[in-house]
Structure 1
Amino acid sequence: MQGSGTSGHDGGSLARSDGNPGTSGPDEDYSSYLTLTAALPDGSSDDEELNQAIIASMESQIAVKVPVQEILLELSSKISTKQQCKFNINRSAVWEGAVRGFQRVSYNPNFMICVKFSDDMGRNEEGIDLGGPRREFLRLLMETIARSPMFEGKENSKNLALDSAALREDRYYIVGKAIAVSLVHGGPPPNFLSPTVFSLLVDGSAKPVLADIADMELLEKVKKVAESTTLEDLEMTKAPLLDYLANAGCLRPMRSIRDKDLLVHDIVMFQVIHRVQGPFQRFCEGLKTLGVLEKIRRHPDSFRPLFCYEPSTLTADQVDDVFSIWLSPEGSNKRAAEERVVTFWRDYLHDAEEEEGPSKLQKILSFATGASVVPPIGFSPTPSVQFIQKEDDDFSCTPMFPLANTCINCIKLPLHVSYQEFKEKFDFALGNSYGFGRA
């Protein structure tokens, strides 16, 4: 499907590793280390020194941070490109459509995801998912999950919330599965979880702080307890919390002002961690899908930026670097026109950065690929900039607007002779596109 501000579906596939049997995966070094250390002989002091040197060398290699893209490509290599699981999605009800797809009897996370969107009138959009619709679906799904009542707290640092309906319907498990699937199937990372939740995922230990309490009324009461300076103050500030403390198992006599620190610690631990143990366990079970949780625990430094928010400003140069530019042969009339439009394209990216910042650059990236950020697993195929020629078979005249095909991550630019016209038509396409290129 091609047209102004829309996308076609004539190519694209999930990124896969090369499958070379001679190439070790990121965890094979760890297995080799265990085998080697188990086989080391007991002997003389010289042998012992040699053994220790070998072990130290192996440990230093294991400590090296493995690129997360390498890990995810290894996991994605097990996905079958010949078998599909279908998701029928309406953009106004992304979560509901995702749940139906994940709970379908035939669903298998090792099969390719095939997404078909419908518009608000219920008509099927043209085309079949070969990459772009899947990326857009996973992007919308991660955004929906971040806003769901299953999480609470600051926008970019959320903890699990206790939602009895979600627990009853096993939504926490589906959320964990959805995040694992998004990472391995070329979608975006969640990157909205708090460091506390990530630490719990890695090794089960965490040190939540007072600011992790999302309930503002409770937070203010606990702050007053923490600010108490005398035993009398402590008793007064504790009084409004008596029912809560009884339910949390924290109610006990205060014999010294020093007892307040332990009381605050117990309240924070209960509110942020112990209270949501059930949801957390189901969330972890979902994250085990495709082996993702195991990799998180083996390579926490590699995965931390995907789960915990880190400011990263998308720039015009970064977007430009994502795309390869396909030009006609050097010396041709086409080449001269295309090179002029390349300058328009790059000026447009820089103007977008200066006028609206990263948000507009994300719209441009989404328009061309269906993803507003570069997926942790990378793009496949590599995004490209191509050009619309007058003699192209599909067009009786040169279109005025850019065209996007998110399945092959391609944006086609019209050969305008004026930058102002190029900018106006591109702005119109971004603001009025519908379908797979819509931001």
Structure 2
Amino acid sequence: LALVSTLPDESSDDEELNKAIIASMDAEKVPSQEILLELSSKIITKRQCRFNINRSAVWEGAMRGFQRVSYDPNLMISVKFSDDMGRNEEGIDLGGPRREFLTTAMETIARSAMFEGKENSKNFALDSTALREDRYYNAGRAIAVSLVHGGPPPNFLSPTVFSLLVDGSANPAVGDIADPELLEKVKKVSESTTVEELEESKAPLLEYLANAGCLRPVQSIRDRELLVQDIVTFQVVHRVQGPFQRFCEGLKTLGVLEKIRRHPDSFKPLFCYEASLLTADQMDNLFSIRLSPEGSNKRTAEEMVVIFWRDYLQDAEEEEGPSKLHKILAFATGASVVPPIGFSPTPSVEFIHKGEDDYASTPLFPMANTCVNCIRLPLHVSYEVFKDKFDFALGNTHGFGRS
């Protein structure tokens, strides 16, 4: 016996009308990128809101920025990092620092006490401090801003949470319970085969059942499934209605929640985990290569390094899989995944020649300008040296070879 839980939101007539509208509008799936580009086109690019961020305390800086009286999500985000010693890093944010900030913010939200459960399928947790400080609202707002301002998707919420976001209904499973002690007790209830066993397994839960509003006499074993579903629904849905509603309010920023409800199939892959399929070939195709004029001495040297670049991508995939490719992407763009809205400008590969940038000889390490999504490669004549120096640069990303 399955019981669908519905959160009270609007009247039943309005709810049915909304569902009909959603169904008709989502009959033909619209790419999420198209939807987000439409929302981002309304951003005022000539005005900025500044976020001052320390990498060791990203969420604290994000909260200060979002709660500032002058903050307006319709304005461009400008991020300025300081290192752990407090020294200002060089460069004005034209994209890369913003993507890095939003990437770290999404990772921090996923790990926070506001959510609980499996690593890539989390539900809301009840955190009194987060409620008091309105962090759930700011988490929803940060996710909306990330999607529209070119950051990554959250990609960690459970299908149960996403279903609640879409129309307020969900059918959570026993596995959605994050509390291990409660989970074991509920499992014993679900495994009962007689009324006596059911009464015995229910006994340790009497106080919980009273608080949840589902304490009632058991008349037959058929009451077991209803009891289990009542417990799960209370624990996963009704217990956290406060956090959920504040999160939804934040997610309304820039019209994102409205679009989610109109196009759930388009947005579900952005909110619910899907394994990354990033490959060396995809990375190669993502970056445009800017070569010197054909027939020039510079062109000859560059074409050799292009081979090194592609070999490096292949070796990265074979040795460590997608994880290292994500690091390379982050080194060049500030984003470890391709943002749902895409990159602007298109990522590119350039080359550093002797005599350029005050280099009297071949520079040792690759350089990255995340503001324009550009990686600049030194013209080594040995692949082993190229690989070694690139690995070093990747391992020392913050404050090294980045602008």
Aligned residue number for residue 17 of structure 2? none
Aligned residue number for residue 411 of structure 1? 375
Aligned residue number for residue 353 of structure 2? 389
Task: Show structure 1 runs of 5+ residues with no match.
Answer: 1-58
User: CA offset at residue 395 of structure 1?
Assistant: 2.4
For residues 338-417 of structure 1, what are the structure 2 equivalents within 5 Å?
A: 338-417=302-381
TM-score between the two structures when normalised by the length of structure 1:
0.85
Question: Of residues 41, 44, 48 in structure 2, which corresponds to 1:84?
Answer: 48
- Runs of 4+ aligned residues of structure 1 deviating over 4 Å after TM superposition are 59-62
Does structure 2 conserve the Cα–Cα contact (< 8 Å) formed by 1:406 and 1:436? no
Does structure 2 conserve the Cα–Cα contact (< 8 Å) formed by 1:156 and 1:191? yes
User: CA offset at residue 61 of structure 1?
Assistant: 8.2
In the alignment, the residues of structure 2 paired with residue 309 and residue 180 of structure 1 have an alpha-carbon distance, to the nearest angstrom, of 17
Question: Of residues 98, 115, 131 in structure 2, which corresponds to 1:151?
Answer: 115
For residues 86-235 of structure 1, what are the structure 2 equivalents within 5 Å?
A: 86-235=50-199
Q: 1:189 to 1:304 in 2, by over 3 A?
A: same
TM-score between the two structures when normalised by the length of structure 2:
0.92
User: CA offset at residue 428 of structure 1?
Assistant: 0.7
Post-superposition Cα deviations, 1:202-227, rounded to whole Å, max 9, x if no partner, equal 01111100000000110000000000
User: CA offset at residue 64 of structure 1?
Assistant: 1.3
AA matched with 2:376:
K
Aligned residue number for residue 310 of structure 1? 274
In the alignment, the residues of structure 2 paired with residue 177 and residue 394 of structure 1 have an alpha-carbon distance, to the nearest angstrom, of 44
Question: Of residues 217, 233, 238 in structure 2, which corresponds to 1:269?
Answer: 233
- SS of the counterpart of 2:47? strand
Q: 1:241 to 1:437 in 2, by over 3 A?
A: farther
- SS of the counterpart of 2:117? strand
User: CA offset at residue 433 of structure 1?
Assistant: 2.4
Does structure 2 conserve the Cα–Cα contact (< 8 Å) formed by 1:81 and 1:112? yes
Post-superposition Cα deviations, 1:361-392, rounded to whole Å, max 9, x if no partner, equal 11100000000000000000000000011132
AA matched with 2:359:
F
AA matched with 1:230:
T
| Aligned length, in residue pairs | 380
AA matched with 2:360:
S
User: CA offset at residue 394 of structure 1?
Assistant: 3.6
Q: Which moved more, 1:429-438 or 1:226-235?
A: 429-438
User: CA offset at residue 312 of structure 1?
Assistant: 2.4
Does structure 2 conserve the Cα–Cα contact (< 8 Å) formed by 1:69 and 1:378? yes
User: CA offset at residue 270 of structure 1?
Assistant: 0.0
Task: Show structure 2 runs of 5+ residues with no match.
Answer: 1-22
In the alignment, the residues of structure 2 paired with residue 436 and residue 136 of structure 1 have an alpha-carbon distance, to the nearest angstrom, of 15
AA matched with 1:330:
E
Tell me the C-alpha RMSD between the 2 structures: 1.3
Does structure 2 conserve the Cα–Cα contact (< 8 Å) formed by 1:367 and 1:436? no
- SS of the counterpart of 1:263? helix
Does structure 2 conserve the Cα–Cα contact (< 8 Å) formed by 1:369 and 1:437? no
In the alignment, the residues of structure 1 paired with residue 358 and residue 217 of structure 2 have an alpha-carbon distance, to the nearest angstrom, of 81
Does structure 2 conserve the Cα–Cα contact (< 8 Å) formed by 1:370 and 1:437? no
- SS of the counterpart of 1:63? coil
AA matched with 2:271:
F
If asked which structure has higher relative contact order (CA below 8 Å, sep 6+), I would say 1
Identity among equivalent positions (%) equals: 82
